[in-house]
Amino acid sequence: MAEQFLIPVEQYLKVGLHIGTKFRTKYMEPFIYKIRPDGLAVLNVQKVDERIGIAAKVMAQYAPENILIICRRENG
């Protein structure tokens, strides 16, 4: 069975969604596909896509003007 993504996987790769960070926590482990030799984590795009889908379903229950998303990171 072919993997299903919310958008084509090529778009995720084009924007660098799969590139993680050298800083990792135990909570990130399920999302890490592998660790490159330079220590940079490569993220599991399918797992990230699944979580984006879950977040979209939750947010779809609210009117857009009632949604506020905050991130500590500039690129968040």
- Where exactly are the structural domains of the chain? 9-65
How does residue 33 score in pLDDT terms, banded at 50, 70 and 90? very high
Q: What is the pLDDT of residue 2?
A: 55
The better pLDDT of the pair 57, 8 is held by 57
Tallying the residues shown for the chain, one arrives at 76
Q: What is the pLDDT of residue 1?
A: 46
Alpha-carbon dihedral angle through residues 55, 16, 37, 33, given to the nearest 10 degrees: 30
- Model pTM score: 0.76
